[in-house]
């Protein structure tokens, strides 16, 4: 039970603004023989809930804070605004991406998109990432083994 909780925590932290790779933990634990389904559930739940946390941090933030603490320029915010208006909640499918995914989650909250739409697409994207790794892992393990 503890390894799966550890996977959950690492996936949660990786989905926040903390630079951390839960993919490496996921692959490492698969390599150690932990149950793939339980790993998939723990990683997907943790990463999705971490993404929701980033979304809500964005929703709670104010322009003044971004400018003061994150040193974000107004021109960058306007650029993101046009992309988010164009693509909307669909962008949440990309929150699994390294580096930019966390920024997307915060931006979706900052621009006040509807949580339930973002939540669904975010969960799909983040689960698909771990599912892809889980499906590819046995093939890769044979290749290196």
* Predicted confidence (pLDDT) per residue in 78-96, tens digit: 777 888 888 899 999 999 9
> What sign has the CA pseudo-torsion 34, 2, 119, 106?
negative
Exposed, middle or buried by CB within 10 Å (0-12, 13-18, 19+), for 61? middle
Collapsing DSSP to helix, strand or coil, 104 comes out as helix
* Predicted confidence (pLDDT) per residue in 6-41, tens digit: 999 999 999 987 888 899 999 999 999 999 999 999
Q: Count the alpha carbons within 13 Å of 46 in the hemisphere toward its beta carbon.
A: 23
Total Cβ atoms within 10 A of residue 121: 19
Return all residues near 42 (Cβ < 8 A) that are at least 6 apart.
Answer: 4, 5, 7, 8, 11
72-79 long-range contacts, CB within 8 A, separation 24+ = none
**What ranges do the domains of the chain cover?**
2-144
């Amino acid at each position: 039970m503890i390894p799966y909780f550890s996977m959950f925590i690492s996936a949660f932290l990786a989905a926040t603004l903390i630079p951390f790779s839960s993919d490496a933990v996921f692959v490492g634990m698969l390599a150690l023989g932990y149950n793939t389904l339980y790993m998939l559930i723990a990683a997907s739940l943790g990463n999705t809930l971490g993404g929701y946390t980033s979304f809500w941090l964005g929703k709670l933030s104010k322009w003044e804070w971004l400018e003061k603490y994150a040193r974000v320029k107004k021109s960058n915010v306007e650029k993101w605004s046009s992309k988010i208006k164009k693509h909307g909640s669909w962008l949440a499918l990309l929150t699994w991406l390294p580096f930019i995914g966390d920024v997307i989650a915060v931006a979706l909250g900052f621009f006040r998109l509807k949580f339930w739409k973002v939540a669904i697409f975010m969960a799909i994207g983040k689960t698909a990432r771990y599912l892809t790794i889980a499906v590819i892992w046995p093939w890769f393990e044979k290749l290196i083994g």
